[in-house]
Structure 1
Amino acid sequence: MNAAHSDTQLSPTAAVAGNVATERFRASGKTVNAHLSPEASRARVNLLATRAVRALNDIVLEERVTYAEYNALKAWLIKVGEDGEWPLWLDVWLEHSVEDVATDHRQGNKGSIEGPYYVPDAPELGPTDTIPMREDEEGTPLRFFGQVRSVDGTPLPEARVELWHADSDGYYSQFVPGIPEWNLRATFRVDAEGRFDLRTMQPAAYQIPTDGACGQLIAAAGWHAWRPAHLHLKVGAPGHELLTAQLYFPGDPHNDDDIATAVKPELMLEIAPNSAGSGHQTEYDFVLDPEPASP
């Protein structure tokens, strides 16, 4: 990570970021299952839990796992919980497959993982506006503009474009001490034609926290901890499915080996010099799928 704001913020730790992510998840309401009856839920849990346990036992038998390795796993699982890193572990190594299943029916834009650093209720701004940032925010200015449409090409004037991303040090507000609460987080309304024209700063690539349990796994396996630079977005409109996405910058060395396996070709931005000022600009349109008809 860079050190541009190291004089104004404390160094983050896995435990701090992990426990904030855990509390955010608990408060999100995502643990409420409103779609299945108790009987159906029980059957689904039985199916998935049985398959997961069987798969782990198959690995033990096929790879002849020793008690030393088993006890190391047990100690590591305990530490994941103590560090509050289950949201990070699940979002980095599992969510990309869940996201693929959840959106494989869509005809509009491709999505990507939400990740552990989303915070709802960001300040709402107009269709041509600047994201909240520090007066001395480091980095390259970025103009980000485009249009939100339905799959039939109809502009969606009631759409909202929610944007959040890391700063030039690779840190997210509300997960690291010393950063203003809503720094580089906002929800933008679109205009009557579904268009938006935003100003922000290009984020940096960053390593996920490595001083906790996830870092132990990465080191033990000889992996790297890097995520390529990316913008997080949620784009929604009445009567349409919410799109959650990450958009990536060409040339990043970790586009091809993202630790979270979340990069897709359709999510790559095209970057050009800013025709309306300093820094860069990029145009990206969002096409949303209508919500499925009720059965």
Structure 2
Amino acid sequence: MTPTEQATAAASGAAATDRFRQSGKTAAVQADQARVNELASALVKAANDIILEKKVTYPEFNALKAWLIKVGEDGEWPLFLDVWLEHSVEEVATEHRDGNKGSIEGPYYIPDSPSQQTGKGAPAKISQRPDEKGTRLLFQGQVRGTDGKALPNAKIELWHADEDGFYSQFAPNLPEWNLRGTFIADEEGHFAIDTIQPAPYQIPTDGACGQLIAAAGWHAWRPAHLHLKVSAPGHELLTAQLYFPGDEHNDDDIASAVKPELILDPQDASDGHGKEVNYDFVLDPVSEETPEHLRA
């Protein structure tokens, strides 16, 4: 049985919820009472304004209650928040940057993936099945600071979906670290990673989020993308998604995460096997104002 046949929204949602609980991100935010009051009051007011403006009925209100309960039962709060809200949080978090702006993390990040050394002309192959489907992709570039200097031994974490649109550890029958890896750049910040080009995919549609998508007449597609976290001592952590030209959902990504500067330019590989792409990362230095979660 294939991952496509077995994967369900409830299973992947439960896995995403469990991973979030284990991530340490659930620790209480150090916010004073005035800030909590400001945010909570604004959220409640916005919801009430919608009810009054749109003349929400009791049947609609009760349908919302039932749907919110189902979101929790399906474990899809990470999916819902990451798809529809995280792009705005990410924009606020990185609006000060002079280097790469980055993109959302999404719900499927797993830390501590297998680590390998890499460098210019010395590609490291990401963990994958011997018969992994898809077009080979050599992803290479350099990590620098905003001052233009190379960042030696920068860390590049890469993860992405397979050609069927599934992530390891969130769908059955996939090896634990399939298409996930950590890569340490050379002394000049160069890296080269041998992977495959992922395919576009739909977010899970058999759970609460899919129910909303169907009811609203939306589509559930995300364009093909690579996920990355790039870090170096003394510099801000960069979280990014990189996209491929020509994807029909670059302009209407359900997660609203595509930015023009994040679209790659793949070319035919010089060795005649698949594609290759060059993409450099520029990291901002840590400052006194840098939030803790952005410190590498």
TM-score by length of 2: 0.94
Change (3 A) 1:139 1:281: same
Q: Partners of 1:125 and 1:173 in 2: how far apart?
A: 19
Shift of 1:42: 2.4
User: Does 1:160 pair with 2:151?
Assistant: no
Measured against aligned partners, the alpha-carbon deviations of 1:113-166 in whole angstroms (never above 9, x if no partner) come to: 000000000000111200000000000000000000000011001210000000
Aligned to 2:126: 131
Change (3 A) 1:54 1:9: closer
Change (3 A) 1:239 1:256: same
Aligned to 1:242: 237
Q: Partners of 1:121 and 1:169 in 2: how far apart?
A: 24
User: Does 1:69 pair with 2:64?
Assistant: no
User: Does 1:47 pair with 2:42?
Assistant: no
Question: Residue type matched to 1:105 in 2?
Answer: H
Q: Partners of 1:7 and 1:176 in 2: how far apart?
A: 10
Aligned length: 286
User: Does 1:216 pair with 2:197?
Assistant: no
Shift of 1:276: 2.8
Give 1:244-263 correspondences, 5 Å limit: 244-263=239-258
Q: Partners of 2:213 and 2:32 in 1: how far apart?
A: 34
Shift of 1:293: 3.2
Question: Residue type matched to 2:249 in 1?
Answer: H
Shift of 1:31: 1.7
Measured against aligned partners, the alpha-carbon deviations of 1:29-48 in whole angstroms (never above 9, x if no partner) come to: 012246x3xxx432222111
Contact 1:9–1:179 (8 Å) recurs in 2: no
User: Does 1:272 pair with 2:267?
Assistant: yes
Change (3 A) 1:294 1:106: closer
Contact 2:143–2:154 (8 Å) recurs in 1: yes
User: Does 1:99 pair with 2:90?
Assistant: yes
Contact 2:3–2:166 (8 Å) recurs in 1: no
Q: Partners of 1:46 and 1:22 in 2: how far apart?
A: 27
Q: Partners of 1:189 and 1:136 in 2: how far apart?
A: 26
- CA RMSD, 1 decimal: 1.3
Question: Residue type matched to 2:152 in 1?
Answer: P
TM-score by length of 1: 0.95
Aligned to 2:293: none
When structure 1 is superposed on structure 2, of 44-53 and 130-139 the one drifting more is: 44-53
Contact 2:2–2:173 (8 Å) recurs in 1: no
Contact 1:10–1:178 (8 Å) recurs in 2: no
SS in 2 for 1:46: helix
SS in 1 for 2:192: strand
Q: Partners of 2:3 and 2:62 in 1: how far apart?
A: 41
Q: Partners of 2:262 and 2:289 in 1: how far apart?
A: 30
Aligned-residue sequence identity (percent) comes to 68
> Which runs of 5 or more residues in structure 1 are unaligned?
1-5
Q: Partners of 2:33 and 2:197 in 1: how far apart?
A: 46
User: Does 1:18 pair with 2:9?
Assistant: no
Contact 1:10–1:177 (8 Å) recurs in 2: no
> Which runs of 5 or more residues in structure 2 are unaligned?
291-296
Question: Residue type matched to 2:72 in 1?
Answer: G
Q: Partners of 1:32 and 1:134 in 2: how far apart?
A: 36
User: Does 1:149 pair with 2:144?
Assistant: yes
Q: Partners of 1:107 and 1:66 in 2: how far apart?
A: 47
Contact 1:150–1:287 (8 Å) recurs in 2: yes
Please list every run of at least 4 consecutive aligned residues from structure 1 whose deviation after the TM superposition is greater than 3 angstroms: 6-10
SS in 1 for 2:6: coil
SS in 2 for 1:218: helix
